Structure 1
Amino acid sequence: MRSFVFILLLIPTFAFSQSQRQPDAAQIKLKLKKLNVLTSVLYMAAHPDDENTRIITYLANDYLATTGYLSLTRGDGGQNLIGSEIRDQLGLIRTQELLAARRIDGGQQFFTRANDFGFSKSADETFRIWNKDEVLSDVITIFRQYQPDVIITRFPPDERAGHGHHTASAILAQEAFDLAASKDIYPDQVKQFGTWQPKRLYTNTGRWWNTSINENTPGIVTLHVGEYSNLLGQSYTEIAAISRSQHKSQGFGSSGTRGDQQEYLEYMKGAKAEKNILEGINTTWSRVKGSDKIQPLVTKAIADFDEEKPYNTIPALLQIRKEILKLEPGIWKTRKLAETEQLLADCSGLFIDVTTDKFYVAPGQRVTASIEFVNRSPIEISVNKIQSGDIGIDSALSLPLKNNAAATQITYKRSVQKSEPYSSPYWLTEKHGVGLFTVTDKSLIGKPENDPAIHISFTIMLAGEQLTVTRPLRYKWTDPAKGEQARPFEIVPPVLVKLTNNVIIFNDASPREVTVLVTSASDGRITGALHLDIPQGWKTQPERITFDLKERGEEQVKTFQVFPSSQEETSTIKAVASIDGEGSFDRSMQTISYDHIPTQTLLSKAEAKVVRMDLKKEGSTIGYIRGAGDEIPAALRYMGYTVIEMKNEDVNAATLKQMDAVVLGVRALNTNTRIGYSMPALLDYVNNGGTLVVQYNTNGDLVTKNFSPYPLEISRDRVTEEDAAVRILKADHPAVTTPNKITVKDFDGWVQERGLYFPNKWDAHFEPVLSMNDKGETSKDGSVLVAKYGNGYYIYTSISFFRELPEGVAGAYKLFANLVSLRGTKPVVSPQVNKKRKSRQG
């Protein structure tokens, strides 16, 4: 009897919230065919959504190549169309969207440590901020680990790529193509992975920079990605559209295309191909020494496959597995061993699920693990051992699993090991810089996400062979509307603390109440004390507050009086809970939940920005109309405003009359499909003396063109340097004088950028207030445009307030307070204005 390891995939090819499902016969046959193809392709670009899902789908499902996507960043610097999460939290969402896409198109996913710091206008700037050598090291690591035969880049290595990150991704691909083969480059990597030389590197030439390209263009290799798969019942472009549509935070829903479609690949490095991107590459088992018997065995297994009885393929798979075990160590032994083991699981219909009744516990706390077994085949299967070092299970047993018998269930109640790490994304565990995440464990580089918190392994006998199956612990429940749901099981600190506000503004030297929510994540009673770490020159009363939590999930709110310093400053305070004999804990738990991705848990520091400034404002009530999602309403409340978040049906004269100002959320003109119908009422509101602040929008997908009382054109101009010089064009304009005096000092300490999608043409009624530009570029004067319309003010601003206000940037608060504080006069509506207003359409 031979013993070997049989590892089921930890992330199945369906949404994590659904119940486990076995692949159907068509999917099993596709995997069998893939078992006889030994080649790999790595697609490479800069961000989530840069990848061409048509090519990935085609290569993975038609060529049956092992296909991966290397995204240098996690998309942290982008905008979010489905919620208010930005930066690290957005990167977490977009990571999971990529994984959701790969589960559909059949690819694998990789990342470097590079942080998406926002739009970059050159590769030189990108490399300076990222630290080029570090990111290049990561790319070479992934090349050496993954060992791709072919590299395909999404972008060219020059300015045609349109973004510094894009250009940088192509440059890094070309450099790593050569350097990965050198034993003198990163020798520590060489000791671990060896060297690797890909066969060729091509660019997925885009039509936007090469409009005349076609399959007859010299040096071009064409992929006919629109082919139809009879086995899967869809064209590859239809599958690719479903994959692409997982990028929901970017608004990249895609409709599938049918019929012949082409993608073009342009030669860059290595061996040229004439017709086929895999020309000259041995894609058979003959590329592996000692594998002579495997190819015919797989071919026969494919030919003999019975769609009605896939379990009949198990003897052949066991024979294939035996031959693979004889091979010398190497990437193809590892890959094909895993594929064969997965096929054994698929063909046997073996169902093993491990669930628990709570989705988080603290180290040392007890957890209930409920295990369900079902054998859905006539193959003899029995369970001989159950083990988990994570929760201390080591049980020998003899449990036969009869064909489709009622589910066998076993329950363990065990304590999580005290040494288990917390379940927070590994790249966010430590503080990171602007350009690079901090990853102390180098073995994690390239991985898309953490491994599951708890594993349980099962030693089973299948058709006389001993196998080890490993499954993750999950939390599962039944939703009345959605049915069976699941989410990852997490390990968290014994007590969680959270400041109830992310930004706290001190308008003068008076103290403010600061509240902290403390929550037990432990069974049984927890007592301790809470304190605030505060900046030098600040103080709290009291210095410590005790808490007594009697059960898991119990919450208590504690309130401190915080006295600021006399100086204007932006700093940070942190909440810390101390438990006798346990230590100090300063983490809050943020949950990110959307239907298209698994629920994510982020254990971030329990911190808040504190802003000591002399902020003045006028008015008391602001109406806010949501766009793509941002935290501006919270920031307005921090300023002391009452914020009424208005739905489309609320936009009428009676409601608007109650508002001192109305603000449109970021990209409201792109995402609010009914905003066109609201604009006439909003412009009437301005005409009658109101103030309307319209935040940035993109120029490509405006819901309505009638969003301004006077002509205004949005461009793609932006100022990406957060420290770019700012010039005040009209020093006496109320937007920079009332109620707060704005100076160039107020633009210190900004993050990521100044602004984006500035208007570049506007009517003479608009007054530009500020001017700014990136180094070496012309002045951009459209960041804040103010127009008097009738008796009120219409303001269009592309300044990135949605980034600055959540970061506690004092100058941004002062400027935004001035914009919403602009006041009109009593209404005297001229016939001409009235006529123009009535002629407007949504």
Structure 2
Amino acid sequence: MELSRTFRRCGSRRFLSCLVLGSLIPFATTNGQDIVPLDQGAVGLHQALQQLQTTVSVLHVVAHPDDEDGALLAYCARGLGARTMLFSITRGEGGANLISADFFDRLGLLRTLEHRKAADIYGNQLFYSRAADYGFSKTLREAQRQWDEGEPILADLVEVIRRERPTILLSRFRGDSRDGHGHHQLAGVLSQAAVDAAADPARFPEQISRGLRPWKVAKFYTNNIRPQWREEDRDAWTLAIPTGEFHPLLGRSFAQVARYGLGYQRSQGMSGHHSPAGQQVSYYRKVTGNSDDPPARESHLLEDIDKSLIGLVPADVATSQDVLRFVLQSIDEQIGTAASAFDARRLESVLPALTAGLNQTRSVLSQLSGLEVADRTRSVLNDQLQRKVELFERAIVCALGLECEAWAEPSEEQSTASLRHVVPGQTFAVQLRITQRSGAAVTLQSIELERPSDWKIDWLVNPAGEGESNAPAVELSSEGHFANPLPLANNVPWQSTCRVVVPETAAPTRPYWQRDSIRETIYKTPRGNGEQGDLPSSPFQVLATLTCGDTTFHVRRELLVRYRHPEYGNVQYPLAVLPTLSVRFLRPYGVLPTDQLQYSLDVLLTNASIQPVSGEVRLELPAGWRSDPDVAEFTMQRDGDEVRQAFVLHVPDDADQSRIDLEAVAEVDGRSYREGYVTVSARDVGRTHWFSPARHRLTRLNVQVAGQPRVGYITGSGDDVAQSLALLGIAPETLGSDQLATADLSSFDIIMVGVRAYAVREDIRAYNTRLLDYVAAGGVLIVQYQTPEFDHNYGPYPYSMGRSPEEVSEEDAAVRLLQPEHVVMRRPNRITEQDFADWVEQRGSKFWATWDDRYVPLLECHDADQPPQQGGLLVARHGQGVYVYAAYAWYRQLPHGVPGAYRLMANLLSLPVTKDE
């Protein structure tokens, strides 16, 4: 195998030391944007040497984060050394979330953070299309309809192929019904289409006009083949990739590496899964484009692939370019020499070959423009040689044990203990620390702080002998260049500090993709389609220029912020710029019954500055409307302070608008603030911020609740249903474990169970009998949608969900009222089909499949080509009370102000009064 040949180059003694040291390498990353330990030290050097020995690149295509064949990615990146890339159609915005109340766009950001962390472990780059995940889609046709026939996605994928030029493309999906739901099928269809379109200059000509060139991948494969499970797949594969193969330096198999990376995707329940050692295979089928000539089986992914530099020069290039071939071969030989010299106990042994190879590579790059080769060949050579330069530099950094750190801190005059972001006009300090840990001669030539041109910098160079550094004081120019090159002694850090002033005009660090409504399925990308990365980068980069002997190399790092989290320890992530003031409504949507002329809402103001902030906030209202107060003053003393400003709207008697958009605006020192942000983070996956306009959409509707029920709420995996009930005049009380165990539940008229509660809470399962006793005594229990953990007859009578519970994913699926005269359908609000208009994302999820006759189904709906589903809303009398299973997606509809969802929920909340009618 290719992997075995790579290890044999080390020699037995050196290989043994590799094995011993590799088993001691800590596998887990710590926090924020740390360099993954697999890419440091002896392991990192070995990985870089592997990558230097190939020109092969691989692109894997999926529909969502966590769809990927992580074992394949780890095998390609960390086993073969191939440049490995992952393209996901969406960021998973429409999925569930088991760890927080972030949904839709905020969930997309969270899943992107998780995906990046997983990719760091796999060893791949990430790319995304502009498509937003609108929710589960059962059919290919619906996915095509929602995403403009897939054209924007296809354009983005073709652009990635043309720009990144993968040698091999592997689709996770086949493009047929075997793939499951519509997103997966479309990913398979578009992968094939993109392979063809990327090679056709007539497709997406605007990309060609921007300088991209057609590109034809050498091989294309599809996945979703399971010969161990399906008889029909036994002969369907052409390539078996041994992802269960043990990697001695990593200390585990590629499949185990993948499982570790996948475990970071906790919002989807991927943590805590054990991956045992043993054989594991990823099966793929090569697509040749000729169905009459089935492809032959291959023994290796790189079969018939020339991975050498010299292989980039076509055979028909004139013999006058033999010098080019000779130099390219010489570079490959230097790489081979470095690989043979690799010794995990003496990393600098590879430096002579690495520096020679880097110098030769730069020499070829400088002469490329004058070579008599085709433009395409020149372009490919340029890309590959530029990548070789990056890999040579990365390998040299590993061989030197070199660390380059740059982090932001409060400036001396500021009293705050740590810095988590900056705001326009702020001054902060940057700490720089560079340490090389080898016997090689290394000098520091310059430190450049790459930032927008209007960010001002003043250097404060370290005095001799202060702090942990024994480096002498040095003189730096304003551009960060040393008057004389600075030798770096073995394991003696060089440190320095500079002061940075953020301009008043600095833009916030925000995601480049945005949309105005969750009903939009394609994001706007103001910077153009070429922006397809994962997360916004820091506006501040540090570039260190050093020499090893007579060879110059560079190290680039993002500027980080660091702080100590009381639970997770040391946390770090890229520096971000935030607006001084965040202004947002606590609820972006709301409803107001038509018989009411007052409406309460809250505006949340957050200070991001370390300085006190004072100003005033007001609402911009339609003519004739007024608020109390008209204007509210506020003062906040420090970073993180919040003010929750309540307003009461007074609606004119003659107001006839059914839907009104309200905006909040705050004024501070003559500057207006009209948007807010929410920090999106989870444990050790980093953090970013979701921005939205300070806008509230109010819908007036005819809705009533009978009585004033007292509601207890059992929170599940996280939803905003309890908060949404306040718009109906109800303030639910959250029930914890102690209350479930011992409280007098009869004090509540209604107890409502949040989504997925039976999956994430042991206490509700343990005390389920108490809930049923509460119903029998006259209470009303409303259970929102639950996952199969609930499929154990927790209701008063038997029911079943089935192995794959049904859901109705088409939010506009027709709904039929099965019992229009049932009290839930008529009191106090008469429910009609019109109440199911304008729903978002889906009708509901995890419908029951069968149920006892004592449950009464009230509604029926179904997706196209799906049997009618009646298990989404069922009501049963139990003793003196009522039990309700409500799988319709109130957790999606209520936070988005869907009128009919509120009306139907109001009827459920009225059951304590109406149940005996």
Answer yes or no: same fold by TM over 0.5.
yes
Partner Cα separation in structure 1 for residue 494 and residue 227 of structure 2 = 58
Q: Which residue of 2 aligns with 1:151?
A: 169
Q: Which residue of 2 aligns with 1:602?
A: 690
Given that residues 622 and 660 in structure 1 are in contact (C-alpha distance below 8 angstroms), is that contact kept between their aligned partners in structure 2?
yes
Q: Following superposition of structure 1 onto structure 2, how do residues 486-525 of structure 1 map, counting pairs within 5 Å? A: 486-507=572-593, 508-522=595-609
Q: Which residue of 2 aligns with 1:369?
A: 430
Q: Following superposition of structure 1 onto structure 2, how do residues 402-801 of structure 1 map, counting pairs within 5 Å? A: 402-428=488-514, 434-442=520-528, 444-507=530-593, 508-522=595-609, 528-534=615-621, 538-547=625-634, 553=640, 555-564=642-651, 566-567=655-656, 569-579=658-668, 581-582=670-671, 584-617=672-705, 618-652=707-741, 654-699=743-788, 702=789, 705-715=792-802, 716-775=805-864, 777-801=866-890
> What SS class does the counterpart of residue 874 from structure 2 fall into?
strand
Residue segments in structure 2 that go unaligned for 5+ positions in a row? 1-26, 314-323, 369-380, 410-418, 458-478
Which of these residues, 44, 62, 65, is aligned with residue 79 of structure 2? 62
Please identify, of 133-142 and 585-594, the stretch whose mean Cα deviation from structure 2 is larger.
585-594
Partner Cα separation in structure 2 for residue 773 and residue 703 of structure 1 = 22
| CA gap 1:175/1:578 in 2 versus in 1, 3 angstroms | same
The alpha carbon displacement at 1:486 in A equals: 1.0
Q: Which residue of 2 aligns with 1:298?
A: 335
What are the superposed Cα offsets for residues 165-223 of structure 1, whole Å, 9 maximum, x if unpaired?
11111111111111101111122322422111012222113339970256x62652211
Q: Which residue of 1 aligns with 2:297?
A: 274
Q: Following superposition of structure 1 onto structure 2, how do residues 245-284 of structure 1 map, counting pairs within 5 Å? A: 245-253=263-271, 254-269=273-288, 272=295, 274-275=297-298, 276-284=300-308
Given that residues 793 and 800 in structure 2 are in contact (C-alpha distance below 8 angstroms), is that contact kept between their aligned partners in structure 1?
no
The alpha carbon displacement at 1:506 in A equals: 3.0
Partner Cα separation in structure 1 for residue 908 and residue 587 of structure 2 = 23
> What SS class does the counterpart of residue 912 from structure 2 fall into?
coil
Partner Cα separation in structure 2 for residue 178 and residue 496 of structure 1 = 47
Count the aligned residue pairs. Answer: 812
Given that residues 375 and 401 in structure 1 are in contact (C-alpha distance below 8 angstroms), is that contact kept between their aligned partners in structure 2?
no
Q: Which residue of 2 aligns with 1:174?
A: 192
> What SS class does the counterpart of residue 306 from structure 2 fall into?
coil
The alpha carbon displacement at 1:656 in A equals: 1.4
Tell me the TM-score normalised to structure 1 length: 0.90
Please identify, of 730-739 and 568-577, the stretch whose mean Cα deviation from structure 2 is larger.
568-577
Which of these residues, 341, 352, 358, is aligned with residue 393 of structure 2? 341
| CA gap 1:401/1:817 in 2 versus in 1, 3 angstroms | farther
Q: Aligned AA for 2:77?
A: A
Q: Following superposition of structure 1 onto structure 2, how do residues 162-241 of structure 1 map, counting pairs within 5 Å? A: 162-191=180-209, 192-207=211-226, 211-212=230-231, 217=235, 220-241=238-259
> What SS class does the counterpart of residue 189 from structure 1 fall into?
helix
| CA gap 1:478/1:551 in 2 versus in 1, 3 angstroms | closer
2:355 corresponds to 1:318: yes
Q: Aligned AA for 1:182?
A: D
Partner Cα separation in structure 2 for residue 780 and residue 695 of structure 1 = 16
Partner Cα separation in structure 1 for residue 906 and residue 68 of structure 2 = 41
Partner Cα separation in structure 2 for residue 213 and residue 320 of structure 1 = 50
Partner Cα separation in structure 2 for residue 630 and residue 115 of structure 1 = 20
What are the superposed Cα offsets for residues 129-164 of structure 1, whole Å, 9 maximum, x if unpaired?
112221111010011122122221122211221111
Which of these residues, 464, 471, 480, is aligned with residue 395 of structure 1? 480
> What SS class does the counterpart of residue 293 from structure 1 fall into?
helix
Q: Which residue of 1 aligns with 2:468?
A: none
> What SS class does the counterpart of residue 480 from structure 2 fall into?
strand
Partner Cα separation in structure 2 for residue 729 and residue 219 of structure 1 = 48
Given that residues 160 and 209 in structure 1 are in contact (C-alpha distance below 8 angstroms), is that contact kept between their aligned partners in structure 2?
no
Q: Which residue of 2 aligns with 1:9?
A: none
The alpha carbon displacement at 1:679 in A equals: 1.4
Q: Aligned AA for 1:119?
A: F
The alpha carbon displacement at 1:825 in A equals: 10
Partner Cα separation in structure 1 for residue 268 and residue 216 of structure 2 = 35
> What SS class does the counterpart of residue 322 from structure 1 fall into?
helix
Partner Cα separation in structure 2 for residue 419 and residue 461 of structure 1 = 37
| CA gap 1:826/1:180 in 2 versus in 1, 3 angstroms | closer
> What SS class does the counterpart of residue 31 from structure 1 fall into?
helix
The alpha carbon displacement at 1:364 in A equals: 3.2
| CA gap 1:270/1:48 in 2 versus in 1, 3 angstroms | same
Partner Cα separation in structure 2 for residue 162 and residue 219 of structure 1 = 19
2:836 corresponds to 1:812: no
| CA gap 1:429/1:314 in 2 versus in 1, 3 angstroms | farther
The alpha carbon displacement at 1:603 in A equals: 2.2
Partner Cα separation in structure 2 for residue 236 and residue 794 of structure 1 = 49
> What SS class does the counterpart of residue 261 from structure 1 fall into?
coil
| CA gap 1:226/1:395 in 2 versus in 1, 3 angstroms | closer
Q: Aligned AA for 1:294?
A: I
Q: Which residue of 2 aligns with 1:356?
A: 408
What are the superposed Cα offsets for residues 479-516 of structure 1, whole Å, 9 maximum, x if unpaired?
45543221221111232213244444434433234332
Please identify, of 86-95 and 441-450, the stretch whose mean Cα deviation from structure 2 is larger.
441-450
Partner Cα separation in structure 2 for residue 225 and residue 826 of structure 1 = 59
The alpha carbon displacement at 1:624 in A equals: 1.8
Which of these residues, 271, 286, 297, is aligned with residue 310 of structure 2? 286
2:103 corresponds to 1:86: yes
Please identify, of 272-281 and 333-342, the stretch whose mean Cα deviation from structure 2 is larger.
272-281
Q: Aligned AA for 1:575?
A: A
Partner Cα separation in structure 2 for residue 550 and residue 692 of structure 1 = 45
> What SS class does the counterpart of residue 747 from structure 2 fall into?
coil
| CA gap 1:777/1:535 in 2 versus in 1, 3 angstroms | farther
> What SS class does the counterpart of residue 314 from structure 1 fall into?
helix
What are the superposed Cα offsets for residues 545-567 of structure 1, whole Å, 9 maximum, x if unpaired?
45556665554444433123645
Please identify, of 220-229 and 636-645, the stretch whose mean Cα deviation from structure 2 is larger.
636-645
Given that residues 616 and 817 in structure 1 are in contact (C-alpha distance below 8 angstroms), is that contact kept between their aligned partners in structure 2?
yes
Given that residues 503 and 638 in structure 1 are in contact (C-alpha distance below 8 angstroms), is that contact kept between their aligned partners in structure 2?
no
Given that residues 500 and 515 in structure 1 are in contact (C-alpha distance below 8 angstroms), is that contact kept between their aligned partners in structure 2?
yes
| CA gap 1:66/1:384 in 2 versus in 1, 3 angstroms | closer
The alpha carbon displacement at 1:793 in A equals: 0.6
Given that residues 113 and 686 in structure 2 are in contact (C-alpha distance below 8 angstroms), is that contact kept between their aligned partners in structure 1?
yes
| CA gap 1:339/1:536 in 2 versus in 1, 3 angstroms | farther
Partner Cα separation in structure 2 for residue 480 and residue 780 of structure 1 = 48
Partner Cα separation in structure 1 for residue 168 and residue 44 of structure 2 = 25
Q: Aligned AA for 2:95?
A: G
The alpha carbon displacement at 1:369 in A equals: 1.4
What are the superposed Cα offsets for residues 44-72 of structure 1, whole Å, 9 maximum, x if unpaired?
11111111112111222222222221111
The alpha carbon displacement at 1:694 in A equals: 1.1
| CA gap 1:752/1:704 in 2 versus in 1, 3 angstroms | closer
Given that residues 427 and 501 in structure 2 are in contact (C-alpha distance below 8 angstroms), is that contact kept between their aligned partners in structure 1?
yes
> What SS class does the counterpart of residue 126 from structure 1 fall into?
helix
Partner Cα separation in structure 2 for residue 27 and residue 369 of structure 1 = 27
Partner Cα separation in structure 2 for residue 188 and residue 261 of structure 1 = 43
Given that residues 506 and 564 in structure 1 are in contact (C-alpha distance below 8 angstroms), is that contact kept between their aligned partners in structure 2?
no
Q: Which residue of 1 aligns with 2:463?
A: none
2:70 corresponds to 1:53: yes
Q: Aligned AA for 1:657?
A: S
The alpha carbon displacement at 1:418 in A equals: 4.4
Residue segments in structure 1 that go unaligned for 5+ positions in a row? 1-11, 828-842
